[in-house]
Chains A and B, each alone.
Chain A
């Protein structure tokens, strides 16, 4: 019983972090058909900005979090204007933006390496204390992460479902041309989505670094997991991604307990490969009709 509580508690925390990391990625893919390979680097940048804002600038942690989200949103905008916008005018957008963002991600990552050094730094944005359920002690930090993640996800859901701007985002991802015929300025939607995705990445970077540590390469692993989640859910399916992220978190916690940390990632991947062979467009994805 205690083991179960332990697994569920850490699984939910992991899942919540993955979900926040994934939403942005999935939104961007959904509206632009763009796999943002710089996502991991942006996520890490969020962690470092928060650190720097608290330790060097002495900001209040809440303000530091906002500052990180803001800076990463700006990075998202920069990626739109410098890479996505020019590439959208040419052919092979999907392939080219993939390669371009690999380059951009490498630039951001190595700038952080120069700026902050290769050694792990603890994330100062942390809460002390723990809650006890049964015999299990759960750090308050995990509860806090879960709370923030839920607030963010509900916020994004309201934005997408209940506001005109959110509807325009969904419309653009369902049918770009139809959205244009409704008077949606798709370029602006793309910019908004990349900015939003950057801000969400920053928050997830802060969360992840708060239970691990900050290093310049820490974004790679969550990004890969976020990609796995996207792939399993079907690229661009935001709500499917949230479900898949939480499932992945629980699964990871369970395999870590049963098989040990060493084998958990391999097991997860094997599972993903099987899912993809079974359903090539993801669990919740629909096959795109290719017209000849």
Chain B
């Protein structure tokens, strides 16, 4: 079976299971947590493209996610843009911001990129949190970016009005659809010409460059693609939770997401998704131990990188190889 066929098969099976889930487990908690899983999975799958395929050590993914969320909220709040238009617009805005960050970073070597992107995320956070000047006073003092409290009341995509009692199920399917598109794009990138170009650049940089494969150009491309879906995920996050605040920049979220990628398997198609599922489930299973959550996450992250750098995906592949 060719790898692309296998990917399609795995994807369809997962999709079918996910479509069936609300019928099998209709509880509201399970459904909303799964929706959150879809959101993080989109971010992680797109981040994996930048990190694992493009080889760009960018930590700006949460900043891009926040850009999408804030753009959606602000478009709705200040200009009353309907959400169905605001979310794609936010995606485009995120691409613009992503390209800007990309242009600033991509000429730098790996560790410099990590530091610079981390610093950019931090400065966005500081600017939002420290801003206390009232930008508008309608409905109380509110800074331009909402300050510490964040922005609310910017509209909805209308599913809450359409399905008053089952809106969360509707959101579940929206999230699932977005994730399906994000994964499809990720498969196309990894198995397609872009992925090929990056493999060429990694395996034989001299030859690849002599054939006119420009790392810079491809890195910018992959940055833009991943920024778009990350921004859309941010927009969906905004309407799902009805409020966007600076907590999206929190370090523990960053830790949570990076752990998903590493534990699942950096650079693989299904690894990050698997990692996201495993960590979301583990998080649920250990609610009482939430005090130790970040200690556990930190340990897991370190142990996986040191002992199993290819993550769970690496295990699966090895066991498949030994069966054949």
Interface assignment of A143: CB less than 8 Å from any CB of chain B: no
B124 vs chain A, min Cβ distance (A): 9
A273-290: which residues lie under 8 A (CB-CB) from chain B?
A: 273, 276-277, 280-281, 288, 290
Taking a contact as CB atoms under 8 Å apart, the answer to whether B305 and A104 are in contact is no
Taking a contact as CB atoms under 8 Å apart, the answer to whether B111 and A262 are in contact is no
Give chain B residues whose Cβ lies under 8 Å from the Cβ of A96: 305-306, 309
Taking a contact as CB atoms under 8 Å apart, the answer to whether B120 and A100 are in contact is no
Interface assignment of B122: CB less than 8 Å from any CB of chain A: yes
Taking a contact as CB atoms under 8 Å apart, the answer to whether B295 and A276 are in contact is no
Interface segment among A63-71, A171-179, A198-206, A223-231: the answer is A223-231
Closest to B205 in A: A292
CA distance A232 to B203 in the complex (A): 31
Closest to A269 in B: B123
Closest to B301 in A: A103
Contact status of A266 and B126, CB under 8 A, knowing A35-B111, A95-B110:
yes
Interface assignment of A116: CB less than 8 Å from any CB of chain B: no
CA distance A102 to B109 in the complex (A): 19
Taking a contact as CB atoms under 8 Å apart, the answer to whether A273 and B104 are in contact is yes
Number of B residues whose C-beta is below 8 Å from A? Answer: 44
Return the CB mask of A51-87 against B: 1 if under 8 Å, else 0: 0000000000000000000000000000000110011
A103-117: which residues lie under 8 A (CB-CB) from chain B?
A: 103-107, 109-111, 114
Interface assignment of B286: CB less than 8 Å from any CB of chain A: no
Taking a contact as CB atoms under 8 Å apart, the answer to whether B116 and A273 are in contact is yes
Interface assignment of A182: CB less than 8 Å from any CB of chain B: no
Interface assignment of A153: CB less than 8 Å from any CB of chain B: no
Among A86, A94, A100, A280, the one with the most B-chain Cβ atoms within 10 Å of its Cβ is A100
Taking a contact as CB atoms under 8 Å apart, the answer to whether B109 and A288 are in contact is yes
Closest to B126 in A: A265
A191 vs chain B, min Cβ distance (A): 17
Taking a contact as CB atoms under 8 Å apart, the answer to whether B302 and A224 are in contact is no
Taking a contact as CB atoms under 8 Å apart, the answer to whether A100 and B104 are in contact is no
Taking a contact as CB atoms under 8 Å apart, the answer to whether A106 and B305 are in contact is no
Residue from the list A33, A104, A290 in contact with B302, Cβ < 8 A: A104
A259 vs chain B, min Cβ distance (A): 12
B232-255: which residues lie under 8 A (CB-CB) from chain A?
A: 251-252, 255
Closest to B297 in A: A106
Contact status of A224 and B122, CB under 8 A, knowing A94-B110, A106-B298:
yes
Residue from the list A103, A111, A266 in contact with B300, Cβ < 8 A: A103
Give chain A residues whose Cβ lies under 8 Å from the Cβ of B258: 99, 102
Give chain A residues whose Cβ lies under 8 Å from the Cβ of B294: 106-107, 109-110
Task: Give the interface SS of chain B, mostly helix, strand, loop or mixed.
Answer: helix
Taking a contact as CB atoms under 8 Å apart, the answer to whether A100 and B115 are in contact is no
CA distance A188 to B292 in the complex (A): 34
Interface assignment of A164: CB less than 8 Å from any CB of chain B: no
A224 vs chain B, min Cβ distance (A): 6
Give chain B residues whose Cβ lies under 8 Å from the Cβ of A102: 255, 258, 298, 301
B261 vs chain A, min Cβ distance (A): 9
B265 vs chain A, min Cβ distance (A): 13
Interface assignment of A166: CB less than 8 Å from any CB of chain B: no
A197-225: which residues lie under 8 A (CB-CB) from chain B?
A: 220, 224
Give chain B residues whose Cβ lies under 8 Å from the Cβ of A107: 294-295, 298-299, 302
Give chain B residues whose Cβ lies under 8 Å from the Cβ of A224: 118-119, 122
Interface assignment of A239: CB less than 8 Å from any CB of chain B: no
Taking a contact as CB atoms under 8 Å apart, the answer to whether B123 and A266 are in contact is yes
Contact status of A280 and B108, CB under 8 A, knowing A86-B306, A106-B301:
yes
Return the CB mask of B307-321 against A: 1 if under 8 Å, else 0: 101000000000000
Interface assignment of B206: CB less than 8 Å from any CB of chain A: yes
B203-243: which residues lie under 8 A (CB-CB) from chain A?
A: 205-206, 209
Taking a contact as CB atoms under 8 Å apart, the answer to whether A92 and B297 are in contact is no
Contact status of A87 and B131, CB under 8 A, knowing A98-B111, A224-B119, A276-B108:
no
Give chain A residues whose Cβ lies under 8 Å from the Cβ of B205: 290, 292
B62-118: which residues lie under 8 A (CB-CB) from chain A?
A: 104, 107-112, 114-116, 118
Interface assignment of A235: CB less than 8 Å from any CB of chain B: yes
CA distance A246 to B107 in the complex (A): 27
Residue from the list B115, B209, B301 in contact with A231, Cβ < 8 A: B115
Contact status of A100 and B297, CB under 8 A, knowing A220-B251, A273-B116:
no
Residue from the list A90, A94, A288, A292 in contact with B206, Cβ < 8 A: A292
CA distance A107 to B303 in the complex (A): 12
Closest to A109 in B: B294
Residue from the list A29, A269, A277, A292 in contact with B119, Cβ < 8 A: A269
CA distance A9 to B100 in the complex (A): 37
CA distance A102 to B104 in the complex (A): 23
Residue from the list A104, A281, A288 in contact with B298, Cβ < 8 A: A104
Give chain A residues whose Cβ lies under 8 Å from the Cβ of B9: none
- What 8 A-B pairs have minimum CB-CB distances, sorted nearest first? A106-B298, A103-B301, A292-B206, A103-B302, A107-B298, A103-B298, A262-B130, A110-B294
Q: A95-B57, A277-B104, A280-B109 are in contact. List 18 more A-B contacts (CB 8 A).
A: A29-B111, A33-B111, A35-B114, A92-B309, A96-B305, A96-B309, A100-B301, A102-B258, A103-B301, A106-B251, A114-B291, A261-B130, A265-B122, A266-B126, A272-B119, A273-B104, A276-B108, A280-B112
